[in-house]
Amino acid sequence: MEAESKKEFWSWGKSLIVAVLVAFIVRQFLFTPVIVSGESMEPTYHNNNRVVISKISSLEHFDKIVFHAPNADEDFIKRVIGLPGDTVEMENDKLSINGKEYPEHYLDPNKDALLEGERLTQDFEFIVPEGQLFVMGDNRANSMDSRIFGSIQEDSVVGKVKFRFYPFNEIGNPK
């Protein structure tokens, strides 16, 4: 009887060790949860939203990413606007990348709140250096992004946002 107990204990122990090891590898190298801090990505994400990022995804224009902030000891979440070699231009609230205009429908709620004649984003032109990215928050009036600190190093990217967790209140209904 005692030998069977030891055998079962060892079996459970091995299973637990394997589970912890797999969870560590997945979180360290593939996916990890992140809590959004601040208002710079509103209306897309709000303070304390929970998202999961992929650490192995390739990046494209308009992807939402988490990266190590160049001017702070924290991670930021922003939208990739410019890739290496791109010329990013904003004129009269219209975004152009390499001379092609791109609509930013995700900004519509913020633009709707503007007074007549007011602009969401000031005009600028920026050429993204090789190995770097140009990022901006969706809440353009309240975002510390590449317009302030310049482009970021590609290797500062922690991961690409894949999905958001929707929190539940105490009775199990989505908030």
Q: Which residues are catalytic?
A: 40, 78
Angstrom distances, CA of residue 114 to CA of 73, 89, 109, 117: 33, 21, 9, 8
- Beta bridge partners, 33, equal 52
Rg (CA), the chain: 21
Q: What is the DSSP string of 20-54?
A: HHHHHHIIIIIEEEEE--SSTTTTTS-TT-EEEEE
